[in-house]
Amino acid sequence: MTPSVAVVGGGPAGLMAAEVLAGAGLAVTVFDRMPSLARKFLMAGRGGLNLTHSEDLESFLGRYDGAAVDRLRPIIAAFPPAALVAWAEGLGQPTFVGSSGRVFPKSLKASPLLRAWLQRLASLGVEVRLRHEWRGWDTDGALRLETPEGGTAVRADAVVLALGGASWPRLGSDGAWAAWIEDVAPFRPANVGADIAWSAVFRDRFEGQPLKNVALRVGGHASRGDAVVTRYGLEGGAVYAISAALRDAAPATLQIDLRPDQTIQRLTDRLARPRKGESLANHLRKALSLSPVEVNLLREAAGKDLPAEPGPLARLIKACPLPVTGVEGLARAISSAGGLRLEAVDERLMLKARPGVFAAGEMLDWEAPTGGYLLQASFATGVAAAEGVKAFLSR
């Protein structure tokens, strides 16, 4: 009789596990609590689906938090970025490498890839059961699932849990599964915006305005890129890159270098040019091309009356201090830290407390920045969990 595997969670990790297992000839059923699969995956692709990154593997692995990288190293090495690219292209979705080294499908969307993927899974015989919410195990060890028609119990020869983290809960990953599993670290927001108490004038005037090519620093952590002013503070790639440091240090001071390619001395020299009766805002615009949002950001930090002398003003531009009170919560976070502790699973990602049950994806306690690292680890752990299932059943 063909062994059966239940995959609980229909995101990238769960679907990848299902593909590997079905490809090995196992009977696979995917259960998901939402009305459709991979909702968070589709949302991630709305702005351009960043599948992975093209940098060398050692640099790639260095992007993961230090506590998890040793466990993730063999898993990602077994299914590296090149393998993920080959997989996508095997689904008829050619990819390209952007100027930042990030890898995208040429369609820049998740939906064509997902459609092709689901067709492949169907051809492999994978069954899908939607609106099935996992509620732990019954007294006989069967999976407890709640459906619109009521509760049901499901037995399988092996199980892959790919239940996601706790960010974007409206898309399906709400972390409720932690109530039925031991050894879960508290969930915390990751890749998330910073909270700054703007003045009402600044907030109302500059909400949605970009800060282009800035450098951010908090403590010993730095990033560079773009940010956007929001009503609650700042968001954007440069902020997400250091959001873990902001989260762990808050309240903290975030320093923004508005002209990272210029030295303090060069800025001082340019600011020392005669103003010829110009207002300071016009002088900053002409001398340094500072935009209105940048000039007023300096005033948020230093007060309405900015330093009159070129030297102190240049230093403020290079290190504009903003008080960060915290970060946004899980509902607004791109990803989450915390989850099933890696010490609770063996090298094949099987739960030590439950033989035959494996875990994959963001429900595991690892953290990474945006840039392709989140999806890569989700896909790779899905493959690893599936390989673990195969090894378990072969015994």
In the chain, beta strands by DSSP E: 4-8, 27-31, 52-53, 95-97, 102-105, 127-129, 133-137, 143-147, 150-154, 158-161, 184-190, 194-195, 210-218, 221-229, 233-235, 252-257, 320-324, 326-327, 335-340, 357-359
Residue 269, pLDDT > 80, answer yes
Instruction: HSE, CB side, 13 Å, CA atoms: give it for residue 390.
Output: 16
| Alpha-carbon gap, residue 394 to 346, rounded angstroms | 17
Q: What is the pTM of this model?
A: 0.93
Structure tokens at 85: 């690219």
The two beta strands, 158-161 and 320-324, are unpaired
Structure tokens at 159: 């199980």
Q: Using CA of residue 376, residue 131, residue 364, residue 234, what is the dihedral sign?
A: positive
CB neighbourhood size of 4 (10 A): 17
Mean pLDDT of the chain: 96
Residue 166, pLDDT > 80, answer yes
Portion of the chain with pLDDT greater than 70, in percent: 100
Provide Rg for the chain, Cα atoms.
24
What is the average per-residue pLDDT within 110-136? 97
pLDDT at 116: 98
Q: In which residue are the tokens 């997989």 written?
A: 87
Tell me the pLDDT band of 393, cut-offs 50, 70 and 90.
Answer: very high
Q: Are the C-beta atoms of 239 and 218 separated by less than 8 Å?
A: no
Residue 277, pLDDT > 90, answer no
Residue 11, pLDDT > 80, answer yes
Q: Which residues pair with 5 in a beta bridge?
A: 28, 158
Closest CA to 1 of 34, 26, 33: 26
The answer for 354, left when phi > 0, alpha when psi is -120 to 50, beta otherwise, is beta
Instruction: HSE, CB side, 13 Å, CA atoms: give it for residue 182.
Output: 7
Query: Each residue of 320-341: pLDDT tens digit?
Result: 999 999 999 999 999 999 999 9
| Alpha-carbon gap, residue 362 to 274, rounded angstroms | 56
Q: Are the C-beta atoms of 163 and 135 separated by less than 8 Å?
A: no
CB contact burial 176-204 (16+ within 10 A = b; e otherwise): ebbeebebbbebbbbbbbbbbebeeebbe
Going by C-beta distance under 8 Å and a sequence separation of 6 or more, which residues neighbour residue 70? none
The two beta strands, 127-129 and 27-31, are parallel
DSSP code of 364?
A: B
Coil, strand or helix at 46 = coil
The answer for 303, left when phi > 0, alpha when psi is -120 to 50, beta otherwise, is left
User: Which domains, ranges and CATH numbers included, belong to the chain?
Assistant: 4-189+332-394 (3.50.50.60), 194-327 (2.40.30.10)
The two beta strands, 27-31 and 4-8, are parallel
CB neighbourhood size of 359 (10 A): 28
Going by C-beta distance under 8 Å and a sequence separation of 6 or more, which residues neighbour residue 312? none
Question: ∠ CA 96-46-373 to the nearest 5 degrees?
Answer: 55
The two beta strands, 158-161 and 357-359, are parallel
Query: Each residue of 172-230: pLDDT tens digit?
Result: 999 999 999 999 999 999 999 999 999 999 999 999 999 999 999 999 999 999 999 99
Tell me the pLDDT band of 47, cut-offs 50, 70 and 90.
Answer: confident
| Alpha-carbon gap, residue 161 to 32, rounded angstroms | 11
pLDDT at 362: 97
Structure tokens at 69: 């990288």
